Chain A
Amino acid sequence: MKTACFFPDRYIAVMIAAVITGLWEGLVHIGILSPLFFPPPTVIAVTLFRWLFNGKLTPHLAATLSRALTGFAVGALSGLAAGLTMGWSERVRTVTDPFIAAAHPVPKIAVFPLIMIIFGIGEMSKIAVAALSAFFPMAINTVTGVRQISPLYFEVARNYGAKPFKMFTRVIIPGSLPMMLTGMRLALNNSLTLTIAAELVSAQKGLGAMIWLSWETLRTEELYASLIITALLGICFNMLVQFAAKRLIPWQKGIS
């Protein structure tokens, strides 16, 4: 049983954040922290609000979102298809395993120049690198998800006369869904990361481009502001997957 406490633990976390922010603000004003590296939080907040209302943020945010989500959709869907096929067929798995094992550990940003040569410096190359980074976690987690389904369930389904189609929709898909969602979360994070990384290197628009521009012009408060937007985006993505998990796998014990 919980002992009577003045503040729930969550509020303590909020209070710690507030204290740090206040300290930061104060230390800049009394001249201990340099505003060049650590612009006061109030200045960052003002920058954020200005962006929100003067419409400077929207096109950048939209560019990053559309690249990351398109890349995610392409990569995750093909990863899902590949993962299910590999999980289903031992032969396909044996053939493709070495390729996946070889290609998976390659940092995808390292392949970006090659992708730019193939797809040009436009939208396609950024979507492609995001898709590539989404493919592997999705495929690998889906295979694992299918493989860890207890043979008992296949036996039960067979015993009740399940045809291959029913085996797929009633055993394989739901049985591997928890792992699929883990793959989805990683894929979504990866595609956001890689989109921003690609935007740092080559883009006029997007959060990555904003970050890079504020570094080049040494507008530190804008750098912080764009980082905050990026962080918020990442948090939103994770919440989205968590919400999906709650809806899609109500039988899982861990998720309440």
Chain B
Amino acid sequence: MNFKCQELSKVYSPDNRTIPVLENVNFSVTEGEFVCIVGPSGCGKTTLLRLIAGLLEPTSGQICFNAGENRKQPRNVMVFQEHGLFPWMTVLDNVAFGPEMQGTGKHEGRELARSLIIQTGLADFSQCYPHQLSTGMHQRAAIARAFAADPRMLLMDEPFSALDAQTKLLLREELLRIWKDRRKTVVYVTHDIEEAILLGDRVLVMTGRPGTVREDIPIPIPRPRNLTDGDYPRLREIKQHIWKMLEHEVRQSLSRYR
């Protein structure tokens, strides 16, 4: 699914103050693209994602989604940082939640869920409750649930930020593998520059609050990418470029609020 954010702005107004969070955000995403959004903390990345998800209304501007909404397929599904699974459902019921909400038959929904559970390596844990899972398995299940709902687009809010380095590496690979199979549009928010350039077709770099898209950087390097082999110099260049930009942003926002 493709969509376009046009002059998107969001202002929060808690107790009579006004806090502009996003200001004049413009970008578009095309079908099947994996777009990463990085930015200094508090720049409104999560707010932007919620606007795209339709969980929040923009103060001004609009998001145009392409026409041709088909079937009962949900427009988007969010994957949260952690604790996104329902604690009162087993892994299987959690993963089958999307199909259940779409009115898919119980048996059919479970079959669908099972195949994703197997694909994410959770076959032995399908009858476990979330509190019995490690954080890594929890996020795996969250990803399986998102894909089982078969949305037209996936919105991910720092889904791996609570994981240790090794698990993070593994889950990134798994995410890319499933994504390659199913070719969903993905918008992936992260504060980890390395993660963004390893995963994305494009990286959008945001400014500090009020956030706006400062640069749109394509990463024309085939996956799987890594920072140790041949593609290292190119990726390092990009990483350094983003790093400098963000450093500048962070310093600026620090001096502004001092």
* Residues in A neighbouring B131, C-beta threshold 8 A: 251, 253
A-facing mask of B189-215, CB < 8 A → 1, else 0? Answer: 000000000000000000000000000
The interface residues of chain B, by DSSP majority, are classed as: loop
B-facing mask of A212-256, CB < 8 A → 1, else 0? Answer: 000000000000000000000000000000000000011101000
* Residues in B neighbouring A163, C-beta threshold 8 A: 101
* A155, B83: Cα distance in complex, Å: 12
- For A162, the closest partner residue in chain B by CB is B101
Let me know if B78 and A251 touch, CB within 8 A. Answer: no
Let me know if A160 and B97 touch, CB within 8 A. Answer: yes
Which of B9-17, B84-92, B240-248 is the contact stretch? B84-92
* Residues in B neighbouring A152, C-beta threshold 8 A: 80, 83-84
B-facing mask of A166-179, CB < 8 A → 1, else 0? Answer: 10001100110100
* Residues in B neighbouring A18, C-beta threshold 8 A: none
* A163, B103: Cα distance in complex, Å: 11
Please tell me if A156 contacts chain B, counting CB pairs below 8 Å.
yes
Interface residues of B, count at CB 8 A? 22
Let me know if B77 and A160 touch, CB within 8 A. Answer: yes
Let me know if B102 and A161 touch, CB within 8 A. Answer: yes
- For B148, the closest partner residue in chain A by CB is A160
Please tell me if A3 contacts chain B, counting CB pairs below 8 Å.
no
Interface residues of A, count at CB 8 A? 22
Tell which of A156, A162, A166, A170 has the most Cβ of chain B within 10 Å.
Answer: A156
The residue that A159 contacts in the complex, of B78, B83, B87, B102, with Cβ under 8 A, is B78
Tell which of A157, A158, A160 has the most Cβ of chain B within 10 Å.
Answer: A160
* Residues in A neighbouring B84, C-beta threshold 8 A: 152, 156
* Residues in B neighbouring A177, C-beta threshold 8 A: 88
Please tell me if B176 contacts chain A, counting CB pairs below 8 Å.
no
Please tell me if B40 contacts chain A, counting CB pairs below 8 Å.
no
Please tell me if B165 contacts chain A, counting CB pairs below 8 Å.
no
A-facing mask of B95-111, CB < 8 A → 1, else 0? Answer: 00110111000000000
* A100, B56: Cα distance in complex, Å: 34
The residue that B98 contacts in the complex, of A160, A174, A249, with Cβ under 8 A, is A160
User: Given that A156-B80, A160-B97 are contacting pairs, would A171 and B86 also be in contact in the complex, using a CB cutoff of 8 Å?
Assistant: yes
Please tell me if B254 contacts chain A, counting CB pairs below 8 Å.
no
The residue that B88 contacts in the complex, of A156, A158, A166, A174, with Cβ under 8 A, is A174
* A189, B196: Cα distance in complex, Å: 57
Please tell me if A150 contacts chain B, counting CB pairs below 8 Å.
yes
Please tell me if B149 contacts chain A, counting CB pairs below 8 Å.
yes
* A166, B101: Cα distance in complex, Å: 8
User: Given that A161-B74, A251-B131, A253-B131 are contacting pairs, would A156 and B86 also be in contact in the complex, using a CB cutoff of 8 Å?
Assistant: yes
A247 CB → nearest B CB, Å: 13
Q: Which of B91-144 contact A (CB under 8 A)?
A: 97-98, 100-102, 129-131
Let me know if A160 and B149 touch, CB within 8 A. Answer: yes
* A157, B55: Cα distance in complex, Å: 11
User: Given contacts A157-B101, A175-B88, A249-B88, could you give 16 more A-B pairs where the C-beta distance is less than 8 Å?
Assistant: A152-B80, A155-B55, A155-B78, A156-B78, A159-B76, A159-B78, A160-B77, A160-B98, A160-B149, A161-B74, A162-B101, A163-B101, A171-B86, A174-B86, A251-B87, A251-B129
Give me the interface of B with A, judged by CB distance under 8 Å: 53, 55, 74, 76-78, 80, 83-84, 86-89, 97-98, 100-102, 129-131, 149
Give me the interface of A with B, judged by CB distance under 8 Å: 150, 152-153, 155-163, 166, 170-171, 174-175, 177, 249-251, 253
